Chains A and B, each alone.
Chain A
């Protein structure tokens, strides 16, 4: 019998998550909207920035509100060198007691595209230090393959520039990456709306990481739910196997046995 179970879970570094959505925690109108949006999104993994924040806010800080409820994925946002990223990852690891890190090494302030050379260096070093490394990288199959060989726990190619909301700009590259990488693939950056997330999943990605698309939406909580459903729909469609595209119509109702008038 064909499996009718809902879509399967996401596995990263031996952990299984029901949700395939990873969500960021910045740029929401306020903390309550953030909490409600994350909850509506169903995400179990949240990315957090540890730069320029205090860990002592008397019980009402970001970390106080999220601790214990979600898997923290601290990022190395704002790092431009491997050295910077490694130090930030280590600080985050100490503060949040997790070895997980979303590795970001930025090459240019205007586009926020990754600096591949520094990213590979940082990934190698962090893997050696037993970090669970989830690198944000270009949608370049070669880079993704190298990150896999280094021993990252997942690879997170961008779909479009960070915060741009432009959607999946190069689906063909993502398909090639899917064919060449066996690791979990997470589309990180560029998703603007639910159909973008669904498309990523239909391309065979294992998950989607987003922040601005939800935090900056006019109704972040409803958009969070939309993303959750988009990802579920896209994943189910991927697992179900779509029909081939054809140029000409094929009637879905049979024409045999009709009265010959």
Chain B
């Protein structure tokens, strides 16, 4: 039997693929599945706009996942009849003053140098595509292949798909310990009982370091990285924007983004805060998100604020996921996805499930093992 620790998007997607392949798989989720980082995310599938200097090694993986996303979405929707709102309008990053424009030009040359499909936009072109963007806009970068999805619908669909394929989901069930005998996983302890298993996948997001039983030296270097977010309600039939818009941030918001969903929600985020496991919302957090968002899209001023929440990105030390072998036989990692958990879910699922079934990792994930730290 295969046990997956954690019912977030990674755990659910891996479980679905394993169950489809006829494996006996059970996911243990200490709360409700898909209700932590998966719920808190914005659903952006944007490897290009999110690409950063010094993180070029991540691109082959994020681009590979983006490539299979459309088919993944189609298959999942066909399987479950749940609409996960895969949207193809693309993403536009804008700047609002001369200094930011220079930064944006710098970014454009970085993205072009990496052979990414991006287009430079003048202020006029930005406002032609999105007329509600601030008149202060100086220019933009258009990334047509950076799509988005409704991450909450995704979690629900994955949950159903997993169970339809024969996978088992146990919610409100913590794995209290992973039992390791002589360097080999033999079981997990749930509710005080030992369950014998062949394989354990740790997909516990920000909590992946804290599962008892794994020796200190083998623990994945993952920490929680807090993000506060909010949602506004756009007028029905007259959404303010159609593309995902990225703009400059300030203080604890490094970049602000606005992701319009087809149900009228405008998801706006996010702060980046080293606050441990403290998930409380703060006045400053909301203030900085709203201020940055309002500077990009002044029209949000009058929109109803319908929700606010925060989540914990599972950040690894180099922001890249930790995938595959753990150094302990029968223990596999699929964690540390940082801000890319939703984007990377299809590739995480296919790569980790075939790693478990076939026993060897592919070229794509071999450089993302925990051994790199």
Contact surface of A with B, Cβ cutoff 8 Å = 28-33, 35, 52-62, 65, 216-221
Contacts and interface: CB of A to CB of B under 8 A. Distances in A.
Q: Which 9 A-B pairs have the closest CB atoms?
A: A32-B318, A60-B223, A54-B276, A29-B54, A30-B319, A56-B276, A53-B274, A57-B223, A54-B275
B274 A29 contact: no
Interface string B89-118: 000000000000000000000100000000
Nearest to A30: B319
B66 to A, nearest CB: 20
Given A29-B53, A29-B54, A219-B54, A60 B278 contact: no
A55 B53 CA distance: 27
Contact of B54 (A33, A54, A57, A58): A33
Contacts of B223: 57-58, 60-61
B83 to A, nearest CB: 35
Contacts of A59: 209, 219, 221
Interface of B: 52-55, 110, 209-210, 219, 221-224, 252, 273-278, 315, 317-319, 373
A243 B29 CA distance: 72
B53 A218 contact: yes
A91 to B, nearest CB: 16
Main secondary structure of the interface of B (DSSP, over half): loop
B372 to A, nearest CB: 9
A60 B53 contact: no
A30 B278 contact: no
Main secondary structure of the interface of A (DSSP, over half): loop
A157 to B, nearest CB: 24
A52 B54 contact: no
Contact of B276 (A28, A58, A219): A58
A57 B252 CA distance: 18
A30 B274 contact: no
Nearest to B318: A32
A58 B319 contact: no
Given A30-B52, A58-B224, A221-B54, 10 more contacts: A28-B54, A30-B319, A31-B318, A32-B373, A52-B274, A54-B274, A58-B223, A60-B209, A61-B223, A218-B54
Contacts of B277: 56
A60 B318 CA distance: 11
A220 B222 CA distance: 22
Given A29-B52, A31-B317, A33-B54, A54 B278 contact: yes
A255 B119 CA distance: 61
Given A58-B209, A61-B223, A52 B273 contact: yes
Contacts of A216: 53
Nearest to B225: A57
B317 A58 contact: no
B110 A218 contact: yes
A30 B54 contact: yes
A56 B54 CA distance: 27
Contacts of B210: 58
Contacts of A65: 317
B221 A60 contact: yes
Nearest to B221: A60
A29 B252 contact: no
Nearest to B338: A30
A25 to B, nearest CB: 11
Contacts of B224: 57-58
A220 B276 contact: no
Contacts of B276: 54-58, 61
A218 B219 CA distance: 31
Contacts of B273: 52-53
Contact of B317 (A35, A52, A54, A56): A35
Contacts of A62: 274
B207 to A, nearest CB: 9
A53 B319 contact: no
A35 to B, nearest CB: 7
Nearest to A31: B317
B310 to A, nearest CB: 14
Contacts of B319: 29-32
Given A54-B274, A54-B275, A59-B209, A219 B53 contact: yes
Contact of A57 (B52, B53, B274): B274
Contacts of A52: 252, 273-275
Between B54, B55, B274, the greatest number of chain A beta carbons within 10 A of the residue's beta carbon is seen for B54
Given A29-B53, A30-B55, A61 B274 contact: yes
11 contacts: A29-B54, A29-B55, A30-B55, A52-B274, A54-B276, A56-B277, A57-B224, A58-B223, A58-B224, A59-B219, A218-B54
